Amino acid sequence: MDAVSTKDTTTEARLTASPDLTGVATSVGGTLLVRAPDTGEVVGEVPDLDAAGVAALVARARTAQPGWAGLGVDGRAEVIERFRRLLWRRRGEVLHSMQAESGKLYEDALRDLAMLLDVAHYWTRVAGPLLADEPLRTRGLMGFGRRSVRTFEPHGVFGMIGPWNLPVVLSIGDALPALMAGNTVVCKPSEVTPLATLLAADLFVAAGGPPDVLLVATGGGRTGEALVDQVDAVHFTGSVATGRAVAARAGQRLIPCSLELGGKDPAIVLADADLKRAARGVVSYGLLVGGQACIAVERVYVQRDVHERFVELVVEQVRSLRLGPAGGPGVVDVAGMIHPPQVDIVEAHVRDAVERGARVLTGGRRGSVEASYEPTVLTDVDHTMRCMREETFGPVIPIMAVRDVDEAVRLANDSEYGLAASVWTGDPARGRAIARRLQVGTVTVNDAVMHAALPELPMGGWKASGLGGRGGPDAMRWACRQRVVQVLRLAGHPDLYWLPYRPRSTRNLERLFGLLYGR
């Protein structure tokens, strides 16, 4: 199989129609057929790269890397700024591509693109200072006369393995700090949604990006494995199970690996909250991208005194939403699932909940649109149920009544996941205090989800939700190797610690240690 060239992958060439097939990506003779989830129509064909194809791509990226690094931060920022502007000018094609392969709402696609643009803007502004040599102060006696500085160097070729829910921002967007650090990048988008990532890589070249700096390796899990085997560092977004496999493989090669995995984000609604706003927030963020976002609200704990009223408000909201095939701006509120097999998981979680005593207040069945599930509200749920413990990744909002804050915090923390959480209260100080008790990487008070759209904020999960992370200055550090350079300024003088040893000088040194550290 030939390597994918960024030049021969224009969207027009890839978008082909063949209406007679079902709704998931399939590999046929080295070619992946990408299908619209709602119609099953083939919307594109891309190579299903094997190990040799991946190795060839990585070799090209490796050859291009010194030239890219040699452009310097300002040169690289200039390219990425041009890329950002071109993405916006050609947004019609980008949004079309995202919607064609994922069936997602116009608004969800637009948000994905806007996040990418914002991320690009952020990294071009902050990369310079973050990559500058950093003087390090040392205080101990052993550092006397020495000057130390930390320098940041690219790893070489960075691998980005992405999921199907936010394919552009979680592949190209996460590639930007690595690119700004002087790495070249090979993205491996999900086999379900490779088209928008390919288009974005085309636009990088069209914007004047040097060839082979941002490449796309299309294919499934096998392609992802081959990428981990070839690159110098890898960032992965996807499921916990695959994340573990990627980490183990990266561990074999001892390459840096950061993981952004699933979530089971709790929302805690206190009796003093603005219930109308909290209900609206929980519905909006529970059904974000149809619930297919790792930071979507996946379970809700509400203080018993206001539980009934809150549930009423949520149900009223959810019933007012329009489920339908995605189209243009504002056409519907919830569309079908991006990855049709996900409907089976959602259905299984709701069935399990009902069998264990949960009540469905609205929804609770497949929707009339192909590969869809009706927005669903469950009550009388508890932690024996899959919908409260496993990632549902669909349009389901399970709501549980709790006695008090302590019970809410205990249940919120009773999870293998620890990505994010939200607290809804009329008292922000109380919200902040509760935030400190939650075992997650991010807590928002009277809000949820939007923190992930802010590139200034680091985002990483606790527990099974990940390692390392994305966003914020830490992501730039992660994209680099570090080197400490230490220079002894008193050259010419013998060092206190050098051979040969003499009883007097050793005793003097001991006395000095006593004066410094023994008091």
Catalytic residues: 260, 294
Query: Which positions from 321 through 360 interact with ligand TXE, judged by CB under 6 A?
Result: 342, 345
Please identify, using beta-carbon distances, which residue of 152 and 158 lies nearer to ligand TXE: 158
With CB under 6 A, what is the number of residues at the site for ligand TXE? 27
- Residue number with the shortest CB distance to ligand TXE? 224
Q: Does 451 bind ligand TXE (CB under 6 A)?
A: no
Please identify, using beta-carbon distances, which residue of 278 and 397 lies nearer to ligand TXE: 397
CA gap 153, 143 in Å, rounded: 24
Both tokens assigned to 304? 């018993």
Applying CB under 6 A, the span of 39-47, 216-224, 425-433, 479-487 interacting with ligand TXE comes to 216-224
Find the shortest distance in angstroms from Cβ 348 to ligand TXE. 11
Both tokens assigned to 411? 């249940």
* Binder of ligand TXE out of 48, 108, 112, 191 (CB under 6 A): 191
Report strand pairing: 146-154 vs 134-136: antiparallel
Please identify, using beta-carbon distances, which residue of 90 and 386 lies nearer to ligand TXE: 386
Find the shortest distance in angstroms from Cβ 237 to ligand TXE. 5
Angle between helices 72-89 and 195-206 (to 10 degrees): 120
Find the shortest distance in angstroms from Cβ 23 to ligand TXE. 14
Residue the block writes with tokens 């018993």: 304
Closest C-alpha to 331, from 15, 103, 24, 93:
103
Q: Does 188 bind ligand TXE (CB under 6 A)?
A: yes
Please identify, using beta-carbon distances, which residue of 216 and 275 lies nearer to ligand TXE: 216
* Binder of ligand TXE out of 106, 373, 393, 417 (CB under 6 A): 393
Query: Which positions from 484 through 503 interact with ligand TXE, judged by CB under 6 A?
Result: none
Find the shortest distance in angstroms from Cβ 56 to ligand TXE. 18
* Binder of ligand TXE out of 46, 161, 185, 343 (CB under 6 A): 161
Query: Which positions from 424 through 443 interact with ligand TXE, judged by CB under 6 A?
Result: none
Alpha helices in 71-173 (DSSP H): 72-89, 91-102, 106-131
Q: Does 261 bind ligand TXE (CB under 6 A)?
A: yes
Find the shortest distance in angstroms from Cβ 344 to ligand TXE. 10
Alpha helices in 149-298 (DSSP H): 174-180, 195-206, 221-230, 240-253, 275-286
Closest C-alpha to 197, from 208, 183, 186, 207:
186
Please identify, using beta-carbon distances, which residue of 379 and 392 lies nearer to ligand TXE: 392
Beta carbons within 8 Å of 354's beta carbon, 6+ residues apart: 360, 364
Query: Which positions from 13 through 42 interact with ligand TXE, judged by CB under 6 A?
Result: none
HSE at residue 395, side-chain half, CA atoms within 13 A, is 31
Please identify, using beta-carbon distances, which residue of 6 and 242 lies nearer to ligand TXE: 242
Please identify, using beta-carbon distances, which residue of 291 and 431 lies nearer to ligand TXE: 291
CA gap 273, 314 in Å, rounded: 14
Q: Going edge to edge, which strands form the sheet with 376-379?
A: 359-362, 376-379, 396-402, 297-303, 265-269, 420-424, 442-445
* Binder of ligand TXE out of 165, 258, 442, 444 (CB under 6 A): 165
CA distances from 88 to 83, 94, 321, 328, 438 (A): 9, 9, 29, 17, 38
Q: Does 164 bind ligand TXE (CB under 6 A)?
A: yes
Please identify, using beta-carbon distances, which residue of 219 and 367 lies nearer to ligand TXE: 219
Applying CB under 6 A, the span of 6-14, 256-264, 277-285, 507-515 interacting with ligand TXE comes to 256-264
Beta carbons within 8 Å of 412's beta carbon, 6+ residues apart: 266, 268, 301, 421, 438
Closest C-alpha to 172, from 216, 106, 231, 233:
216
Applying CB under 6 A, the span of 21-29, 188-196, 362-370, 409-417 interacting with ligand TXE comes to 188-196
Q: Which uninterrupted H or E stretch holds 105?
A: none
CB 381 within 8 A of CB 387: yes
- The full DSSP string for 247-289 is HHHHHHHT--EEEE----EEEEE-TTS-HHHHHHHHHHHHSGG
* Binder of ligand TXE out of 39, 99, 190, 422 (CB under 6 A): 190
Query: Which positions from 283 through 322 interact with ligand TXE, judged by CB under 6 A?
Result: 294
- Interacting residue ranges for ligand TXE, rule: CB under 6 A: 161-165, 188, 190-191, 220-221, 224-225, 228, 237-239, 242, 245-246, 260-262, 294, 342, 345, 391, 393
